[in-house]
Amino acid sequence: MNKHFEKKLSQPFACILQDSEQDEDLHLELPDQDQEPGILPTEIRKLVQSRRQVKQLMKAPDLSNEMKMQVSRKKERKKERKKERKKEKERKKERKKERKKERKKEKEGKREKRETK
C-alpha cells in the first residue's frame, strides 16, 4: 500500500486515539497489522487505484479518440447522476414544505371549528 495513502487513512484514527487517551473510560483497539483489511479500506484502495489508472489514461498522448470518448461519457454520466440526486433532494424538500403547509391548514381548520362551537 502507498505510504502516503496509508498515512491519510490512519490520521482519523490518530485523532480518536488522542481523544481516547484523555478519556480513560474509552478503550479503542485497532486490528493487528497482520490481519486482512476490512471491506472499507479495500474498497477505498480500489477506487483510488481506479482513479489513478483513468488519470494516467487521460494523460497518455497516444490515447485513441474512442477511449477519450468512453472516459468522457463516464464523466458525463457521473455528472448527470449527481444532478439527478440534487433534483431529487430538492423535490423531497418541496414535498416536505407542502406537507407542513397542509398540516398547518388542518390545525387552523380544527381551531376554527372549536372556536365556532
> pTM value?
0.38
**Are the C-beta atoms of 54 and 71 separated by less than 8 Å?**
yes
Asked if 97 and 90 count as a contact pair (C-beta separation under 8 A), the reply is no
C-alpha cell, 35: 490481519
Please state which of the ranges 15-24, 64-73, 77-86, 91-100 shows the lowest mean pLDDT: 15-24
Task: Tell me if 59 sits within 8 A of 24, measured CB to CB.
Answer: no
Cell numbers standing for residue 101: 403547509
pLDDT digits (tens, 9 = 90+) for 33-74: 787 777 888 899 999 998 888 888 777 778 777 777 777 788
Distances (CA, A) of 49 to 41, 71, 95: 12, 16, 40
